[in-house]
Structure 1
Amino acid sequence: MIFSVQFKTRWADFDANIHMRHTAYNDYAAELRLRFFKKHNITIQDFTNENVGPILFEENTKFLREIHMGEDITVNLKVVGLSSKGERWKIQHEVFNQAGNLSAIITVYGAWLDLTKRKLTVPPVKFQQIFSEAEKTPEFKEILLKN
C-alpha cells in the first residue's frame, strides 16, 4: 500500500503569483518522510539511540501543475531504488492538488549516516525494513554500490 498524507496548506506556502512556492513542495515531502518513519515506529529518539540519521545527496522536483492558495494537497512515498543492505535509497514523492491531479514529482536520493563517524553506514535492521517493505515504483531497481 502506498503511504500518503493529506496536508492543509498554509499562507506561507504561497508566493506573489498566488501559487505554491517551489520550496514548499520539498518541505511537504520532507514532512511526509518524517511521518513515514513515525508510522513505522522510528522516532527522532530512535535516530539518537541508534546513532544514525538519513541524509540526502540529491533532490529533484518536476513541476507539472500549479497548486493554488487554499488548496489542500496529498503527498505520497514510493521507493524507486534500494541497495541490498538498505544503506542507500531513492524515493519518489507525488504531490497531488485538491482535485487529485498530479502537480509535482519529487525524487530524493539518500543514505544513512553514522552520526559519530560522519560516514555512510548500513542502518539497523529496523531501519532497513521500512524501505524494503514500502510500495515500489514500476521502475524500481536495486542500487548497486561500488566497492
Structure 2
Amino acid sequence: MLSGLFYYWSSTREHLGKAFDSSAGFTLPDGSMRSPDLAWIGMERWKKLPEHDRTRFAHICPDFVVELQSPTDPVQTLQTKMAAWINNGCQLGWLIDPKNEKAYVYTPGNAPEEIHGFHHKLSGGTLLPEFELDLLKLK
C-alpha cells in the first residue's frame, strides 16, 4: 500500500526527483551500504551523479527514506538505522511501526518526533510537496 501511494505521487512529479523501492541500495558518505524500504532523491542531486554511479548502491544518501518495521525487526535496530540515514545527509525519514501504530519522523538537528496512533497523517513538507501519508491506510 505505502509503495503504491508513494509511486503514484512520484510519477506525477518525476521532474522533482527519483523514487526507489527496497531493491535499491546506497553507499553513504560514512562508507556503509543501506537499502531502505522507500527512498527519494531530488532530481538536481540525482543528475549530478555520474552515469556509472547511478546503478545499485549509488554513492549518495537519499533526501527521504522510509523504514517500515516488520515483525522480525527490533524497533531499536531501525532507530539506529534511521539515525545513520540522517547523520549521512538524509533530510526526512519516517520509521513506521504498524504493530504498535507508531511512527517516528526524523529530521536533521532534531530529536525524532514520535507519533502515537494511526489516526494521524505524515507530511512530506516542502521536500515532497503535496505528499501526505494517511497512516490509517496501513492498518
* TM-score, normalisation: structure 1: 0.30
* Higher radius of gyration, 1 or 2: 1
